[in-house]
């Protein structure tokens, strides 16, 4: 590394001349920047579309944005979406977040109105943030090498990838808008500065807090000029007027957006706490985010407890935010001032999504992390020092990429990026093809985006809403079911939503199974035919997911699984040997296969199939010495049928006698045709 830096230092002038060469009416450095932006856009567009096709995008929020834009374009229903009707009865997205930027997005979306368009647009907009960063670097550092380096590091930045990875969000525009506003601030081009400040405010109401602190940054940066202005009473100074205008605009903006929402799109009072995300600061005790600073001051002990909550995760978050730039952002900490609102908002919360990078929230701060690092390079007096610092930034960025980016092969070893469509996802696509494109449907969070190009698509409420007000959620689902033709759930990818729907559909008679495959179930209203089964539903249990209450895990080289469960009755009677995890079972015929090795005399033990948290026993099978082949592995079967949706289905071995020894290899529950 030292050798490479040395060679680079010796050839700085020659490299600068090469990068200044004009190709296609632009500098080579600008062309390289454009090519990197294009490469990033293409790569992340492909990645996120693959992720979408593997059902790793969600109603919250890709489905919401797609339906809001589609309903506006096709039916003139302004940003109407259904997933948040419980919280926002108007259905207008502006009732949740004040985001007029959607009016600008709408013409671009109209080119091809599908969710994939939003994913491509987001990838391009995030990459485009490299353009003002490049121009700012050229202006401040006067170096094309440094400018291309900062562009490369920006496009390699894991928090940027995290924003890109999670569905579509209007916050994706913020790096571009904030970097552009700071570029024009540096040039004191106040007209263009305010254009981008306004665009950032149009993204989402909380950007007002960031803009207010940009105003404070201007005060800090131009304090000498402002003091002179106050002394001379030259209140027409552009710096003075722009500073006051920035701060006043931010102060006015947030209350104005709240007034618009309260007057035109009032929130359901039953879910006001969920709307304000009060639970996200329960450790601090703040019921409204606007009260966070006050609570930190008035309740310092709570503030310390909130800051310590998941402390190591928060430390890791800060490391991956600042680490890729080798922590040089702290050398010019004044440019981090606009990040303060977000860090207070996130680090004093107990909601992990606020302090991890695989969500949209880092978009609020990315621009300022890079700007402060850029000015830290500018502060160095020698070009050699600047090159060394840039080399350090590149090195740290590469390390951070490999250990934190969702596209890294290292991260993919422990983080399911959803870039591979399995047979299960192919079954979902096949079953979705059974639903007419104009039919009404209710489905779960990770499937909704695929049916969101229709007005009458509805999402099953997410767990947080059920916990807030279960009766209201159940009432909403029942009312919605009265007006939809199809219901689609997938037990394997959303157990909670499936359990809630099983419970509700058990009390109704108007929906029957139309098609199923591997735990994916499509219901149709008033269907009276034979259900199509594309693949049976299967459950498999072994030593690694069974709950052992008496006995041990041991090794048997003759078993299918090397590790098996073992119960030795000579240690004494036990009321329970093992139980399986509680699962969901749709209606159908099933066979349970238990691979066991049993030895003993007399009545040995009993297998029970039960549901409803073990309270309802569906079927039992008593094992005695006449039923078993002693000391040999054998597969024993139990068959049963159910016309109801079984919730908390469980298999357990009970009444283990003193004179029995049992080895359990595996249990399989397979749906019969």
* DSSP state, residue 634: E
Indicate the helix (H) or strand (E) that contains 540: strand 538-541
With both helix axes pointing from N to C terminus, report the angle between 115-128 and 28-53 in degrees, rounded to the nearest 10.
150
CA distance linking residue 156 with residue 164, whole number of Å: 12
Query: In which band, very low, low, confident or very high, does the pLDDT at 4 lie, cut at 50, 70 and 90?
Result: low
Q: Are 218 and 180 in contact (CB under 8 A)?
A: no
CA distance linking residue 154 with residue 128, whole number of Å: 10
Higher pLDDT among residues 129 and 11, named by residue: 129
With both helix axes pointing from N to C terminus, report the angle between 130-141 and 366-378 in degrees, rounded to the nearest 10.
20
CA distance linking residue 535 with residue 515, whole number of Å: 10
- For residue 165, pLDDT over 70 is answered with yes
- For residue 417, pLDDT over 70 is answered with no
Question: Which of 286-300, 409-423, 609-623 is predicted with the least confidence, judged by mean pLDDT?
Answer: 409-423
CA distance linking residue 67 with residue 78, whole number of Å: 10
What is the per-residue DSSP string for 562-588? SEEEEEEGGG--EEEEEEPPPEEE-SE
- Apex 647 CA angle, 611 and 477, nearest 5: 150
pLDDT at 450: 97
Q: What is the number of alpha carbons within 13 Å of residue 1 lying toward its C-beta? A: 10
- For residue 421, pLDDT over 90 is answered with no
Helix, strand, or coil here: 486? strand
- Which residues fall within 8 angstroms of residue 274, CB to CB, at 6 or more apart? 87, 464, 465, 468
Higher pLDDT among residues 650 and 3, named by residue: 650
* Domains (range + CATH), the chain: 423-535 (no CATH), 538-672 (2.60.120.260)
488 strand-pairing partners: 443, 522
- Apex 231 CA angle, 229 and 237, nearest 5: 15
Instruction: Return phi, psi of residue 584, to 5°.
Output: -105, 145
Of the candidates 409, 321, 391, the residue with the CA atom closest to the CA atom of residue 358: 321
- Which residues fall within 8 angstroms of residue 135, CB to CB, at 6 or more apart? 183
Give whole-number Cα distances, 229 to 24, 232, 239, 539, in Å.
46, 5, 9, 75
pLDDT at 5: 57
Q: Are 77 and 71 in contact (CB under 8 A)?
A: yes
278-298: average pLDDT: 91
- For residue 116, pLDDT over 60 is answered with yes
* % of residues, the chain, pLDDT over 90: 76
419-427: average pLDDT: 88
543-554: average pLDDT: 92
pLDDT at 3: 58
CA distance linking residue 629 with residue 514, whole number of Å: 42
Q: Are 590 and 670 in contact (CB under 8 A)?
A: yes
- For residue 1, pLDDT over 60 is answered with no
Measure CA of the first residue to CA of the last residue in the chain; give whole Å.
Answer: 64
Scored b (16 or more CB within 10 A) or e, 181-208 reads bbbbbbeeebeebbebbebbbbbbbbbb
77-91: average pLDDT: 94
- Rg of the chain over Cα atoms, rounded to whole angstroms, equals 30
- Which residues fall within 8 angstroms of residue 231, CB to CB, at 6 or more apart? none
CA distance linking residue 27 with residue 328, whole number of Å: 28
3-state secondary structure 416-475: CCCCCCCHHHHHHHHHHCCCCCCCCEEECHHHHHHHCCCCCEEECCCHHHHHHCHHHHHH
In 222-266, where does DSSP find H-type helix?
223-232, 238-264
Q: What is the number of alpha carbons within 13 Å of residue 650 lying toward its C-beta? A: 20
- Please give the model's pTM, rounded to 2 decimal places: 0.91
593 strand-pairing partners: 637, 668
Burial status of residue 323 (CB atoms within 10 A of its CB: 0-12, 13-18, 19 or more):
middle
pLDDT at 55: 94
Query: In which band, very low, low, confident or very high, does the pLDDT at 468 lie, cut at 50, 70 and 90?
Result: confident
Q: Are 578 and 549 in contact (CB under 8 A)?
A: yes
- For residue 483, pLDDT over 90 is answered with yes
Helix, strand, or coil here: 666? strand
């Amino acid at each position: 590394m030292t050798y490479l830096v040395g060679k680079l230092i010796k050839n700085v002038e020659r490299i600068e001349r090469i990068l200044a060469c004009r190709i296609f009416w632009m500098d080579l450095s600008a062309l390289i920047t454009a090519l990197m932006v294009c490469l990033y856009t293409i790569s992340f567009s492909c990645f996120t579309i693959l992720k979408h096709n593997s059902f790793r995008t969600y109603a919250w929020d890709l489905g919401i944005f797609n339906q809001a834009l589609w309903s506006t374009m096709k039916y003139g229903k302004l940003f109407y979406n259904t997933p948040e009707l419980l919280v926002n009865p108007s259905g207008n997205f502006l009732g949740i977040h004040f985001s007029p930027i959607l009016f600008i997005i709408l013409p671009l979306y109209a080119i091809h109105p599908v969710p994939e368009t939003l994913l491509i647009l987001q990838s391009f907009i995030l990459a485009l943030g490299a353009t003002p960063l490049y121009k700012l670097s050229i202006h401040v550092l006067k170096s094309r090498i440094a400018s291309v380096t900062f562009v490369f590091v920006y496009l390699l930045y894991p928090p940027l990838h995290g924003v890109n990875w999670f569905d579509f969000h209007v916050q994706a525009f913020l790096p571009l808008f904030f970097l552009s506003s700071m570029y024009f601030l540096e040039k004191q081009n106040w007209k263009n500065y305010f254009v981008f400040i306004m665009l950032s405010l149009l993204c989402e109401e909380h950007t007002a807090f960031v803009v207010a602190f940009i105003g404070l940054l201007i005060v800090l940066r131009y304090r000498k000029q402002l003091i002179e202005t106050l002394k001379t009473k030259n209140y027409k100074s552009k710096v003075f007027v722009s500073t006051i205008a920035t701060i006043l605009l931010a102060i006015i903006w947030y209350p104005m957006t709240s007034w618009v929402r309260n007057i035109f799109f009032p929130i359901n009072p039953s879910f006001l706490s969920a709307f304000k995300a009060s639970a996200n600061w329960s450790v601090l005790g703040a019921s409204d985010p606007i009260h966070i600073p006050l609570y930190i001051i008035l309740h310092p002990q709570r503030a310390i407890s909130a800051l310590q909550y998941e402390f190591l995760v928060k430390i890791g978050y800060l490391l991956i935010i600042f680490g890729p730039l080798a922590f040089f952002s702290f050398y010019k900490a004044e440019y981090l001032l606009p990040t303060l609102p977000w860090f207070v908002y996130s680090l004093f919360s107990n909601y992990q999504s606020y302090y991890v990078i695989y969500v949209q929230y880092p978009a609020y701060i990315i621009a300022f992390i890079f700007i402060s690092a850029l000015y830290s390079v500018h502060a160095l007096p020698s070009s050699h020092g600047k090159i060394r610092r840039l080399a350090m930034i590149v090195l740290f960025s590469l390390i951070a990429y490999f250990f934190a980016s969702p596209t890294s092969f290292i991260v993919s070893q422990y983080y399911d990026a959803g870039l591979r469509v399995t047979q299960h996802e192919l079954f979902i696509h096949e079953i979705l093809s059974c639903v007419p494109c104009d039919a009404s449907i209710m489905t779960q969070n990770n499937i909704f985006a695929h049916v969101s190009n229709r007005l009458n698509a509805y999402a099953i409420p997410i767990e947080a809403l059920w916990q807030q007000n279960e009766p209201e959620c159940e009432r909403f689902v029942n009312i919605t079911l009265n007006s939809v033709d199809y219901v689609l759930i997938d037990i394997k990818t959303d157990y909670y939503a499936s359990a809630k729907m099983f419970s509700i559909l058990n009390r109704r008679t108007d929906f029957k199974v139309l098609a199923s495959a591997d735990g994916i179930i499509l219901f149709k209203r008033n269907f009276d035919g034979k259900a199509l089964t594309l693949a049976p539903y299967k459950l498999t249990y072994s030593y690694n997911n069974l709950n052992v209450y008496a006995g041990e895990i041991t090794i048997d080289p003759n078993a299918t699984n090397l590790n098996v469960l073992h119960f030795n009755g000579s240690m004494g009677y036990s009321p329970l040997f093992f139980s399986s995890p509680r699962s969901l079972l749709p209606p159908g015929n099933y066979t349970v296969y238990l691979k066991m090795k049993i030895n003993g005399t007399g009545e040995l033990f009993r297998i029970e199939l039960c549901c409803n948290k073990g309270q309802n026993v569906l079927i039992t099978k008593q094992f005695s010495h006449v039923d078993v082949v002693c000391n040999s592995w054998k597969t024993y079967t139990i068959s049963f049928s159910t016309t109801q949706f079984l919730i908390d289905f469980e298999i357990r071995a009970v009444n283990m006698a003193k004179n029995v020894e049992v080895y359990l290899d595996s249990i399989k529950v397979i749906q019969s045709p």
